[in-house]
């Protein structure tokens, strides 16, 4: 029987190695604007090589890599019976941002419901460089400001580090951005360390014929910002639409079995599709209410 397993994450595999400059950013953010005392912290990585840069959560990378290795082990021993188990810190930041050199073509990798998206960015940050200078950590830095994504940002860049790049979608200053903060003080990224590494290149999970894992591996749906906004609005209006459509498409096919499982807030596992959909919709609405202060509000309007 062909099995289609539902998963809510994108795993990252390991493959060939390349020389990379890795910069560590402490990302502090407030996800709920009504609770400014709840400041979250995530260690973000900015990996820069000759081809471009990748910005992503360290905890998510470690968690995804661990799950991916476990699935590969299960595929080798028992490919017809796979158990996905996430334990430990999965990361609070799920998106990834890549920039391609030399033109700095920028993409946001994120997920909505069961689908993974590659969202192209066509707006370059327009900077106003000021004369203000100060020490940020061990680096001599200069001030710059920009309006981007629905926020006003203040950045400090250092020509001591010869990369015209920075965290998230920010780039284009005469040196690496070592600190950037929005006007409200609810999003800030500060460089706290760096080193050279042999970084693993991402590789798709190699699944045997007849097994498909939704949300795990595979190619992203490439869209522009306008198209992504439509996808996001449809998701907010009906969070479980994609899952219901999948169940209906495969429900009459004896060679396909769609398995939906989740856990309630008290840890109880449920598998009845209707209960799963109700729980997912409830959870999504609760999360949207609490996560009302995204880093780029213009993208979700």
Q: What is the pLDDT of residues 286-300, one digit of tens each?
A: 888 899 999 999 999
Q: What confidence score (pLDDT) does residue 7 get?
A: 35
- Is residue 259 helix, strand or coil? strand
Degrees, nearest 5: CA angle 166-168-174: 20
Nearest partner of 115 among 254, 230, 270, 282, judged by Cα = 230
Q: What confidence score (pLDDT) does residue 217 get?
A: 55
Cis preceding linkage at 102, omega within 30: yes
Q: Which residues pair with 200 in a beta bridge?
A: 17
What's the distance, CA 274 to chain centroid? 28
Name the pTM for this structure: 0.80
CB 106 within 8 A of CB 65: no
**Looking at the chain, how many residues does it have?**
301
Ramachandran bin of 120, using left for φ above 0, alpha for ψ from -120 to 50, beta for the remaining angles: beta
Q: What confidence score (pLDDT) does residue 155 get?
A: 98
Cα 117 to Cα 231: distance, rounded to the nearest angstrom: 10
Q: What is the pLDDT of residues 38-54, one digit of tens each?
A: 999 999 999 999 999 99
Cα 218 to Cα 213: distance, rounded to the nearest angstrom: 9
Q: What confidence score (pLDDT) does residue 98 get?
A: 98
CB 157 within 8 A of CB 177: yes
**Number of neighbouring beta carbons within 10 Å of residue 283:** 15
Nearest partner of 159 among 144, 181, 145, judged by Cα = 144
Q: What confidence score (pLDDT) does residue 285 get?
A: 86
**Number of neighbouring beta carbons within 10 Å of residue 78:** 10
Nearest partner of 3 among 245, 206, 210, judged by Cα = 210
Q: What is the pLDDT of residues 113-143, one digit of tens each?
A: 888 999 999 999 999 999 999 999 999 999 9
Position of tokens 């080798």?
76
Environment class of 64 (CB within 10 Å of its CB; exposed 0-12, middle 13-18, buried 19+): buried
Q: Which residues pair with 193 in a beta bridge?
A: 24
Degrees, nearest 5: CA angle 296-117-205: 130
Environment class of 157 (CB within 10 Å of its CB; exposed 0-12, middle 13-18, buried 19+): buried
The β-bridge relationship of strands 176-182 and 187-200 is antiparallel
Tens-digit pLDDT string for the chain (301 aa): 333 333 333 333 344 456 899 999 999 999 999 999 999 999 999 999 999 999 999 999 888 766 666 656 666 566 555 555 555 567 899 999 999 999 999 999 999 988 899 999 999 999 999 999 999 999 999 999 999 999 999 999 999 999 999 999 999 999 999 999 999 999 999 999 999 998 655 555 555 554 545 445 557 899 999 999 999 999 999 888 877 777 666 654 445 555 666 777 667 777 677 777 787 788 888 888 899 999 999 999 8
Q: What confidence score (pLDDT) does residue 13 get?
A: 39
CB 130 within 8 A of CB 144: yes
DSSP state of 183: T
- Is residue 15 helix, strand or coil? coil
């Amino acid at each position: 029987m062909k099995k289609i397993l539902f998963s809510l994450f994108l795993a990252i595999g390991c493959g060939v190695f390349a020389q990379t400059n890795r910069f560590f950013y402490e990302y502090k953010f407030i996800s709920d604007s009504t609770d400014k005392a709840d400041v979250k912290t995530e260690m973000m990585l900015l990996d820069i090589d000759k081809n471009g840069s990748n910005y992503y959560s360290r905890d998510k990378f470690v968690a995804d890599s661990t799950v991916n290795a476990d699935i590969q082990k299960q595929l080798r021993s028992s490919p017809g019976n796979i158990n996905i188990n996430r334990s430990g810190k999965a990361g609070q930041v799920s998106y990834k941002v890549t920039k391609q050199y030399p033109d700095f073509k920028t993409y946001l990798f994120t997920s909505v419901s069961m689908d993974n998206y590659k969202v192209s960015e066509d707006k370059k940050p327009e900077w106003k460089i000021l004369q203000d200078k100060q020490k940020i950590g061990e680096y001599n830095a200069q001030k710059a400001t920009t309006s981007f994504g629905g926020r006003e940002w203040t950045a400090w860049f250092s020509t001591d580090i010869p990369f015209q790049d920075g965290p998230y979608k920010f780039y284009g200053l005469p040196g690496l951005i070592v600190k950037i903060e929005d006007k409200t003080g609810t999003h800030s990224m500060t460089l706290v360390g760096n080193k050279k590494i042999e970084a693993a290149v991402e590789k798709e999970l190699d699944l045997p014929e007849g097994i498909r894992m939704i949300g795990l591996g595979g190619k992203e749906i490439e869209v522009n910002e306008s198209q992504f906004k439509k996808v996001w609005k449809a998701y907010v209006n009906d969070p479980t639409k994609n899952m219901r459509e999948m169940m209906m498409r495969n429900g009459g096919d004896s060679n396909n079995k769609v398995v939906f499982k989740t856990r309630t807030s008290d840890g109880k596992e449920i598998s009845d599709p209707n209960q799963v959909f109700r729980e997912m919709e409830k959870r999504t609405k609760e999360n949207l209410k609490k996560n009302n202060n995204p880093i780029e509000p213009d993208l979700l309007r």
